[in-house]
Amino acid sequence: MTERETPDTGLTTFTVNGTVQSVLASERTSLADVLRDHLHLTGTHLGCEHGVCGACTVLLDGAPVRSCITLAASCAGRTVTTVEGLNGPVIDAIREAFSAEHGLQCGFCTPGMLITVTDILSRHPDIEAEQVALELSGNICRCTGYVGIVRAVSHAADSLRASGN
């Protein structure tokens, strides 16, 4: 056993943003800590560290999860997408809409919001504004009051429909 290893330390291998990663960490280390501290993917923000605020949201096998309460060891063999790994026409439309509709302010919640909105639009391409607030209820933003964010999601959905994406 090396000096960094302890009896509860193990190697976890999973795919992050399209790249296979192997990380030596305690069985109790959160996915958020592995992403930030081991892989230096600091776009995943830590807010409440209790799974309530949504700042740490990532996609695990395509589904949104709170990385602060997800054990990294449970991700072995799975696929994680962080905000840094989002690309393509959907995230481009979301980013443009957030900018156009002033859905950003301090930016702390933004990575989790972008991940969540990506998931929302993949499941509900024809989402109505009334449904957006319910879908975003697990992501806390203390700055914007959500009006710009809800408009941004609707704007992105309209843009994606118009472009056929």
Categorize the per-residue pLDDT at 61 as very low, low, confident or very high, splitting at 50, 70 and 90.
very high
- Please check whether residue 119 is in contact with residue 58, taking contact to mean a CB–CB distance below 8 angstroms: no
Round the average pLDDT of the chain to a whole number and report it. Answer: 93
Tokens 């957030």 belong to which residue? 98
As a whole number of angstroms, the distance between CA 29 and CA 40 comes to 15
Taking residues 73-101, report their average pLDDT. 97
How confident is the model over 24-59, as pLDDT tens digits? 999 999 999 999 999 999 999 999 999 999 999 999
C-alpha to C-alpha distance for 72 and 23, rounded to whole angstroms: 9
Q: Give the pLDDT of residue 157.
A: 96
**How would residue 129 be classed by pLDDT, with cut points 50, 70 and 90?**
confident
Which tokens go with 35? 């992403």
Q: CA-CA distance, 105 to 99, in Å (whole number)?
A: 10
* Percentage of the chain modeled with pLDDT above 70: 96
